[in-house]
Amino acid sequence: MDRQITVFPMPKTGKISLVVAPRGVVQTLMSMLATLAQRGRVIVLDGGNCFDGYALARALRRSTHQVQAALKQVLLSRAFTCYQLVAMLAELPVDGTPVIVLDMLSTFLDENVHFTKRQRLLANGLNLLRQISAGAPVAIWARTRSSPVGDEDRQLLIPLLETAHDIWELQAPHTLEHQLPLF
Amino acid sequence: MLEFTGWLLDLFEDPREGLVLYFIDEDGARRRLIYPFPVTFYALGSDVELRALWRHLSNRPREITLRRTQRMDVFKRRMVMALAVTVQNPYEVSKVFRQTAAHFPHLEYADADLQVSLRFAAKTKAFPLSRCRVVADEDHKLETIDILEDAWVLKTMPIPLRIMTLSPDVAPHHARPHYLKAAIGDEEYHFDLQTWRPLLVNLRALIQRYDPDLLLTDWGDTWLLPRLLQQSEKYHIPLGLNREVGRGVSWHEERTYFSYGQIVYRGQQIHLFGRCHIDRQNAMLWDDYRLDGTIEVSRITALPLQTASRVSPGTGISSIEMLTALREGILVPWQKQQAEMLKPAADLFTADQGGLVYQPHIGVHKHVAQIDFVSLYPAIMVHFNISPETILPDPQGDNMVPALGLAIDTSQDGLVPKALRPLLEKRIAMKKYLASKPSWDPFRKNFSRRASALKWLLVTCFGYLGYKNARFGRIEAHQAVTAYGREALLRAKEAAEDLGFEVIQLYVDGLWVQHPDKTQPADIEPLLLEIQARTALPISLDGIYRWVVFVGSRQDKNRPVANRYFGVFQDGSIKVRGIDARRRDSTPFVSQAQMHLLELLASKDQPEEALPEAIAFLQERLRALRHRQVDLSDLLVRQRLGRKLAAYRTPSPAARAVLQLQSVGKEMRPGQRVPFLYTLGRPGVFAWDMPQRPNPQAVDVARYQRLLLRAAGIVLESWGWDEKRLTEKMLSDASQLKLPTLPKPHPEKHGHQVRRLTDSQASHALSGP
Amino acid sequence: MGRTLPSATQLMLNEEAALSRFRRALRRGDQLVFDDLFTAAQKHISAAAYAAHALPFETFLMAMLIEEHKEVMRLRKIIEVLQEMHA
């Protein structure tokens, strides 16, 4: 097991890890989650309606018979708007529980909310994550798209890149022309 | 001093007077009153920030008054400190709020963006089109207003609305209209659209003479009123479309949006002041519930008639909830913040489900009783007190939601149940009335239209509970409703089986049951009582089918689908779901023929007796098709444009029709339905709204023949005549037309395509463990 | 609110797809039996959805067994009738 560790190391306290990758990475993230869930509680915030519970259960099943018990260790909350995502971060318990944010930027691509307002909300969210990371491991996945939403994708990714301590970027070949600079 | 009884027709903000209200006096007069109406919004946040806001606004004492206060935050389940910002003139409130929110983005706001009609209704109980007793002073300033009928009255006094209808002779996007028809009561006038000056002069005279309360138009929003206004300006002949002097009309832009997984298009809108304008072509569900239903929506949502006619049922539900909140002194949040509660992932598997749906056995079933829960989801919300604020984050003790690990607080009525209860009770009362009265009952038409309007609101209220931007929505509440729904349906199934019935089908809120000896309504009564006892929810017998046929899916007729069936009740009435006869995109030629076949089957004691007649009917229809005796308009397909043109890799027939229209400068938006004919050669379609007339010889007869026989096969298959056999029969009967081969069966399924990635490490990560 | 997890129908398609290499290597006759088993399981897809098992394949296997057993019972009955006729 733990094949995914050859790809990204487990998140560590004091550091924010960022994965920039297309949707396919969910499976790997679920394997990482399965490993964490067998060690203790994990918090998952899903900003892209992409939490794959069945993949997680399968990943758990490969290494344990206690699938239900491990599934209870994963605490999940889904955000459907950027307001909700930031509200969730503000309400998180600060007790050292690792936090994984899935598809962090999707809810910020909502054209019904003014762009500067979204940028401000994102900055708030990242501040909260920085505070959380002081006492708990934090990992963020920023999803890349085959058809980016104007320039907003890029502009919203920049503060994420600036906040993260470790960054992994994975790309599918046909998205190469939209390659995002790391810095 | 002025005192009268009448109906509140319209109300709107005015820069000088505050609120302007138009009434229909029952003595026939139309009255304009004014009402100074300060309105309040609230800012919430830290003391420091609220103080800063206070300082910022305190230098405008004549326009704005400020006050610290406690208000109920229903989500926090307690009173919170707020700064009340009261704006003297409601006309100014949106501007003041916009500036404030831009200046103080960190504060939260409540009661900020509410329709003035909701605020007025919360304060005075008087809602648009309510019948009331009104007292005003000499300056026509409203002093008191008391409603004489509340929004829940069943038999209301009819409103003496003066209605003028205006419609061009043809649909303007289809062909160039030649004249404008104006009708008031029995009188009808035709105005030549080639000569604008006389048209404007005459129309102005007509409006002045009759002073209509309601302009009921066809394409008034998107074509007629913009043209009239443009010409009226050009010729300097004001029309007096508004009653209110000195106000222009109000334009609302067109828009396209997603609603419940479907793309929806709403055309531009034109609203008037002091008079109402409804465009029947742009009004919500007009074909379904007409003016009676629209008035009902306006009354119970407290939205002005012009707005009510154009909003989606979701907005209607939202208004009812906001009105309830205002009346109860509960803050209406400007931005919804509540996130999903942090819950074990193990719970998601049970929570993330819809209603319970069986796969029925394909084919004919005889003597089947259909039993439905009455407005199941709203009834659950009301009965089990499900509301965003009644879902307890700390589940314990009683009132647990079935299988979800959530509990419901029943110590006080939730906001959503409070808002829905009267709506639900009214709908049930109306249905009861309709069921008990003969077909000639004078209230029948009015009641069934209003009941239909209520039905749409009730159908929507459940989805709205889960809508991400709903002010009073919450995902857990949405999940709780479906959990109770599944529980209720399973209990009903168990009750039926305990009483010896066989369960043929379950579908979200209904069940189909069969018992060899229980074939009359009275035999079903004990089952209804048993289900009601086990679920505590209202249930009713929809009817007993002489026979009902469940058909397979459109792609694979052997694969059962839940909601695709047709049947005949014991009284001879036909019920149809999911097949061509019910689909809005099927051509009238096909759907009418399918319906006729059903009627033939229903007319005989044994359906198979109808087969010779059915075959003869199909032959006649095909002959008419081949001899070009079918009206071209009956061959129209009306498909929705699903996305932007550029997003199509292989354009659908609808997209090709839109491309044609584009070539002659006619633009269509995603969500609009485009009518077209199937034609021979390329591009295989002819858009109905092209300027030239279609050539009847170009119609793709073989394609319509196939559509007809496929639709006929669906209905007749259970009696031995499937599409293939029908086609062979028709082919041997008609040698003059060679049929093309049937479409190939669906290709076999493929495994998932694995995307290849450049970087091997990335490839590893992306393809999953 | 869009659903997060795939529907039971989708899950069954996924499981079937996951076994596509297995199916491919079966003899043609066995492939048809394989397909029959999944068609049989489909009859209980709503029960599988309601059960909401985190590892749904277990429920699908149970659904296949139910249909298999129904078939066994049907055949047993026929045999009994035939035996009586010949007794």
Helix (H, G, I), strand (E, B) or coil at B683: coil
Residue C18 pLDDT more than 80? yes
* pLDDT number for residue B261: 59
- Among C12, C46, C55, the strongest candidate for a mutation testing the B interface, having the largest count of B CBs within 10 A, is C46
The whole-angstrom distance between B336's CA and the closest CA on chain A is 7
Residue B746 pLDDT more than 90? no
B257: closest chain A residue by CA: A112
Categorize the per-residue pLDDT at C80 as very low, low, confident or very high, splitting at 50, 70 and 90.
very high
- Among B259, B358, B462, B479, the strongest candidate for a mutation testing the C interface, having the largest count of C CBs within 10 A, is B358
- Answer yes or no: is C70 within a domain: yes
* pLDDT number for residue B397: 66
Which residue range is the domain that position C27 belongs to?
8-86
The span from the CA of B297 to the CA of B309, in Å, is 8
φ/ψ of residue B446, rounded to 5: -60, -45
Residue B600 pLDDT more than 90? yes
Record: fold of B350-578 = Palm domain of DNA polymerase (3.90.1600)
Of residues B74, B70, B95, the one with CA closest to residue B83: B70
Residue B765 pLDDT more than 70? no
What residues does B512 pair with on adjacent strands? B370, B505
CB < 8 Å to C5, chain B? 348-349, 352
* pLDDT number for residue B263: 72
Residues of chain B with CATH 3.90.1600.10: 350-578
Cβ-defined contact of C42 to B468 (cutoff 8 Å): no
What mean pLDDT is predicted for residues B403-419? 92
The span from the CA of B415 to the CA of B72, in Å, is 12
* pLDDT number for residue B755: 31
The span from the CA of B548 to the CA of B368, in Å, is 7
Choose the closest CB to A81 out of B468, B762, B765. Answer: B468
B278-293 confidence digits (pLDDT tens): 999 999 899 899 999 9
Instruction: Tell me, letter by letter, the H, E, C secondary structure of chain C.
Output: CCCCCCCHHHHHHHHHHHCHHHHHHCCHHHHHHHHHHHHHHHCCHHHHHHHCCCCCHHHHHHHHHHHHHHHHHHHHHHHHHHHHHHC
The whole-angstrom distance between C81's CA and the closest CA on chain B is 24
Superfamily of domain B163-210+214-274: Ribonuclease H-like superfamily/Ribonuclease H (3.30.420.10)
Cβ-defined contact of A78 to B475 (cutoff 8 Å): yes
Categorize the per-residue pLDDT at B670 as very low, low, confident or very high, splitting at 50, 70 and 90.
confident
Categorize the per-residue pLDDT at B394 as very low, low, confident or very high, splitting at 50, 70 and 90.
low
Q: Looking at per-residue confidence, does B739 or B647 come out higher?
A: B647
Categorize the per-residue pLDDT at B759 as very low, low, confident or very high, splitting at 50, 70 and 90.
very low
Q: Which CATH class for the A13-171 domain?
A: alpha beta
Predicted TM-score of the model (pTM): 0.90
Domain boundaries, chain A: 13-171
What mean pLDDT is predicted for residues B437-450? 91
Residues in chain A predicted with pLDDT less than 70, given as ranges, are 1-8, 148-149, 172-183
Assess contact for B206 and B182: CB atoms under 8 A: yes
* pLDDT number for residue B107: 92
CB < 8 Å to A80, chain C? 1
ipTM score: 0.90
* pLDDT number for residue B264: 73
Residues of chain B with CATH 3.30.420.10: 163-210+214-274
- Answer yes or no: is C3 within a domain: no
Choose the closest CB to B766 out of A21, A72, A92. Answer: A21
Cβ-defined contact of C4 to B478 (cutoff 8 Å): no
Residue B751 pLDDT more than 50? no
CB < 8 Å to C49, chain B? 353, 356
- Among B337, B464, B469, B754, the strongest candidate for a mutation testing the A interface, having the largest count of A CBs within 10 A, is B337
Residue A95 parent element (H or E): none
CB < 8 Å to C3, chain B? 352, 354
Helix (H, G, I), strand (E, B) or coil at B142: strand
* pLDDT number for residue A149: 64
The whole-angstrom distance between A68's CA and the closest CA on chain B is 7
Residue C85 pLDDT more than 70? yes
B508: closest chain C residue by CA: C46
Q: What is the CA angle B610-B612-B615, rounded to 5?
A: 105
Put simply, whether B210 touches C (Cβ < 8 Å) is: no
B554-571 confidence digits (pLDDT tens): 877 777 888 899 999 999
Categorize the per-residue pLDDT at B439 as very low, low, confident or very high, splitting at 50, 70 and 90.
confident
Residue B744 pLDDT more than 80? no
The whole-angstrom distance between A4's CA and the closest CA on chain B is 7
- Exposure b/e, B336-362, CB count within 10 A at least 16 = b: bbbbbbbbebbbbbbbbbebbbbbbeb
- Answer yes or no: is C14 within a domain: yes
Residue B749 pLDDT more than 60? no
Chains that touch C (3 or more CB pairs under 8 A): A, B
What residues does B264 pair with on adjacent strands? B257
* pLDDT number for residue B735: 53
CB < 8 Å to B101, chain A? none
Of residues B55, B63, B118, the one with CA closest to residue B91: B63
A62: closest chain B residue by CA: B769
Number of domains observed in the structure of chain C: 1
Cβ-defined contact of B766 to A74 (cutoff 8 Å): no
The whole-angstrom distance between A183's CA and the closest CA on chain C is 33
A57: closest chain C residue by CA: C54
Helix (H, G, I), strand (E, B) or coil at B756: coil
- Answer yes or no: is C2 within a domain: no
- Among C1, C14, C57, the strongest candidate for a mutation testing the B interface, having the largest count of B CBs within 10 A, is C1
Task: Write out the two tokens for B92.
Answer: 């100014």
What value does the mean pLDDT of chain B take? 91
* pLDDT number for residue A5: 41
What mean pLDDT is predicted for residues B46-57? 94
The span from the CA of A42 to the CA of A136, in Å, is 10
Residue B552 parent element (H or E): strand B539-552
- Answer yes or no: is C1 within a domain: no
